[in-house]
């Protein structure tokens, strides 16, 4: 693991998610750019001292030298955005597979380079767009693919948060500080932090590519340097349209990502606050609530849950599904069966970066921009 030192929330989540299914073991880490802090985290995690490194450079150097059955198989990068690319490139070049937290890179150029590296090396990247790890999101994708709602016509996706309603980056809140800093986050604020989740889940469920967008990025809180509120009109490759809302100044909101997909013959609705349900609506029929863990679900939902219906799984389990599916992929490579290959790969990471970059352009120039 690179990053995830003292006080890191997302580092701890990555470790928990990786550990959950007993298929991945944390064997080493460079948890901080300060040697002392890295060592402290390593000790807390019970790692042997010799595998806690003072920098990722040192880590790659030493791990590469270990016997294949001892050295790490997989690197997780959980640092701020501007610190994704350099270790990622190095990792791939040295033959390691990668997990990177979203958005994949600082800017689009870096994303393009990673895409090329993956193509060249055969190493793969899993980008942790958590929400497509939920079983009922996978069920939604499978139902759209099966034609249960007919051709997709309209999509609404929203991701309201309230945690940046005040200018807490000026009050010492660490995560807010880097998320709102263009030098660490890149050109996008809310659009890059959460808009990209909404974009990913939209393409994932519909199986359709977004081909052009019209974005309005707002800086609502005075003095903020990056957008904290975004609305994006979407046009899909099949002519369907959509509306994407991502706001971090939706005062009082937590994290309820919600998506509704309307087809010619029906609609699907999912929201994270009720993550184990998927609603199916068809004209002149009672609405249906499909539930995680049920016997009637498709293969993807079943393979990505651990409990019977009524024993709710949550966000950590969704996260863990990406790790588990990626671990399966690494183990089995091309032999991996389709349902298990289900994780957000470098292409999904690249499209997220493309979306961010185009949204910034569209908003700046007040016009539709192609993806």
Give CA–CA dist 185/299, Å, rounded.
Answer: 37
Q: Report the alpha-carbon distance of residue 56 to residue 177 in Å, rounded.
A: 23
- Residue 229's DSSP bridge partners are 218, 247
Q: Does 27 bind a second copy (CB under 8 A)?
A: no
**Which member of 3, 135, 189, 263 binds a second copy (CB under 8 A)?**
263
The answer to whether 75 and 97 are in contact (CB under 8 A) is: yes
Number of residues in contact with a second copy, rule: CB under 8 A?
82
Burial of 285 (0-12, 13-18, 19+ CB in 10 A): exposed
- Our finding on whether 183 is near a second copy (CB under 8 A) is no
Q: Does 113 bind a second copy (CB under 8 A)?
A: no
Question: Scanning the structure block, which residue is given the tokens 């980056």?
Answer: 169
Q: Is 354 in the site for a second copy (CB under 8 A)?
A: no
Residues within window 215-244 making contact with a second copy, judged by CB under 8 A: 216, 218, 220, 229, 231, 233, 241, 243
Whether residue 346 contacts residue 85, with contact meaning beta carbons closer than 8 Å, is answered with no
Provide the minimum distance between the beta carbon of 242 and a second copy in the complex, in angstroms, as a whole number.
Answer: 9
CA distances from 143 to 198, 205, 287, 291 (A): 19, 9, 15, 14
Contacts 24+ apart (CB under 8 A), 300-307: 300/135, 300/138, 300/139, 300/141, 300/142, 300/339, 300/342, 301/135, 301/136, 301/138, 301/139, 301/142, 302/135, 303/339, 303/340, 304/133, 304/134, 304/135, 304/138, 304/342, 305/135, 306/21
Q: Which of 116, 225, 273, 332 binds a second copy (CB under 8 A)?
A: 273
Q: 122 vs 147, which CB is nearer to a second copy?
A: 147
Query: In the structure encoding, which two tokens stand for residue 292, read together?
Result: 């995680």
Min CB(266)–a second copy separation in Å: 6
Q: Which of residues 35-64 bind a second copy (CB under 8 A)?
A: 45-46
Among 37, 71, 89, 154, binds a second copy (CB under 8 A): 154
CB of 206 to a second copy, least distance (A): 14
From 104-112, 188-196, 278-286, 348-356, span contacting a second copy (CB under 8 A): 278-286
Residue 65 interacting with a second copy (CB under 8 A) = no
What part of residues 118-147 is at the interface with a second copy (CB under 8 A)?
Answer: none
Q: Indicate which single residue of 63, 101, 110, 158 sits in contact with a second copy (rule: CB under 8 A).
A: 158
The reply to whether 359 sits near a second copy by the rule CB under 8 A is no
When asked if residue 369 is in the footprint of a second copy (CB under 8 A), the reply is: no
Q: How far is the CB of 261 from a second copy (least distance, A)?
A: 10
E-strand spans in 97-151?
97-100, 125-127
How many C-beta atoms lie closer than 10 Å to residue 136's C-beta? Answer: 28
Report the site for a second copy in 289-348 (rule: CB under 8 A).
Answer: 289-291, 293-296, 306-317
173 binds a second copy (CB under 8 A): no
Cβ distance to a second copy smaller for residue 82 or 291: 291
Asked if 171 is part of the footprint of a second copy (rule: CB under 8 A), the reply reads no
Three-state DSSP class for residue 198: helix
Choosing from 192, 249, 346, 359, the residue that interacts with a second copy (CB under 8 A) is 249
116 binds a second copy (CB under 8 A): no
Q: Would you say 86 or 233 has its CB closer to a second copy?
A: 233
Compute the least distance from the CB of residue 121 to a second copy, in Å: 29
Among 97, 138, 153, 179, the residue binding a second copy under the rule CB under 8 A is 153
Nearer to a second copy (CB atom), residue 240 or residue 371: 240
Neighbours of 149 (CB within 10 A): 22
Contacts of 17 (CB under 8 A, 6+ apart): 316, 319, 320, 322, 323
Tell which residue, 107, 151, 98, 163, has the closest CA to residue 261.
151
Closest alpha carbon to 31 in 70, 82, 83, 69: 83
Smallest distance from a second copy to CB 54, Å: 23
250 lies in the binding site for a second copy (CB under 8 A): yes
The answer to whether residue 280 forms part of the interface with a second copy (CB under 8 A) is yes
């Amino acid at each position: 693991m690179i990053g995830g030192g003292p006080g890191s929330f997302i580092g701890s989540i990555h470790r928990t998610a990786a550990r959950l299914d007993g298929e991945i073991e944390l064997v080493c880490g460079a948890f901080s750019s300060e040697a002392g802090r890295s060592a402290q985290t390593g000790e807390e995690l019970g790692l042997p001292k010799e595998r806690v490194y003072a920098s990722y450079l040192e880590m790659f150097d030493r791990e590469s030298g270990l016997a294949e059955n001892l050295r790490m198989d997989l690197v997780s990068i959980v640092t701020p955005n501007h610190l994704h690319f350099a270790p990622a490139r190095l990792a791939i070049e040295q033959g390691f597979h990668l997990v990177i937290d979203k958005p994949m890179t600082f800017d689009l150029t870096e994303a393009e380079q990673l895409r090329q590296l993956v193509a060249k090396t055969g190493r793969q990247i899993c980008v942790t767009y958590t929400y497509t790890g939920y079983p009922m999101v996978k069920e939604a994708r499978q139902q759209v693919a099966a034609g249960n709602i007919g051709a997709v016509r309209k999509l609404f996706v929203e991701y309201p948060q309230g945690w940046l309603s005040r200018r807490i980056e000026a009050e010492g809140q660490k995560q807010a500080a880097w998320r709102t800093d263009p030098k660490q986050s890149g050109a996008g604020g809310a659009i890059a932090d959460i808009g990209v989740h909404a974009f990913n889940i939209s393409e994932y469920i519909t199986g359709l590519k977004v081909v052009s967008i019209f974005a309005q990025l707002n800086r609502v809180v005075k003095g903020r340097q990056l957008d904290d509120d975004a609305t994006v009109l979407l046009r899909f490759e099949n002519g369907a349209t959509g509306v994407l809302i991502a706001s971090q100044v939706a005062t009082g909101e937590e994290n309820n990502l919600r998506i509704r997909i309307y087809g010619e013959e029906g609609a699907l609705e999912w929201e994270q606050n009720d993550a184990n349900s998927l609603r199916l609506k068809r004209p002149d029929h009672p609405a249906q609530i499909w539930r995680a863990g049920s016997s009637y679900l498709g293969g993807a939902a079943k393979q990505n849950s651990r409990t019977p219906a009524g024993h709710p799984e949550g966000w950590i389990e969704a996260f863990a599904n990406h790790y588990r599916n990626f671990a399966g992929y690494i183990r089995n490579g091309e032999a991996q069966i389709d349902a298990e290959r289900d994780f957000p790969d470098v292409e999904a990471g690249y499209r997220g970066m493309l979306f961010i970059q185009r949204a910034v352009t569209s908003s700046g120039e007040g016009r539709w921009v192609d993806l």
